[in-house]
Structure 1
């Protein structure tokens, strides 16, 4: 996965050097932006414009994240892990 992210980063840096490429096309899939059908969205982490197919909305950050930046972030703990951790602490309190 690290190699995949590194390749994606180098591809993006090459494309972004093209004059105004990212103003008109998604940096991830190169799809052209259109006002209504495929609007551009700014990734919070890398600051590149991406299309709706190549990003997801982060409710926690209240911002868009491109697929590459999303993969590069550490996974958020699941609600189950909080539940399990809470039960474990409760059992430890009861024992000791």
Structure 2
């Protein structure tokens, strides 16, 4: 997208970006205060930034992003390592650290 966000931003939401395929490291590297990230209805999204997500991120929510969901499987998805340190991750309303919501 080629835009820079303010470094003080604590929450960011992507909703209905139908053609968005990946999140760029350039846009996220300066988001040192980001704590909440919501990604909803981005069906073409397949990856997170190469450098990972901001280190202070506390909550990641993914909903309606089928391609991204496939690569975010707990402990085995190719994108797992980029967000495994985030304390609260939910995919389609289910917390991935909850053993009852874990599916293979």
Could you say which structure has the larger radius of gyration? 1
Q: TM-score, normalised by structure 1?
A: 0.24
Compare the two structures and name the one with the higher helix fraction.
1
Compare the two structures and name the one with the higher strand fraction.
2
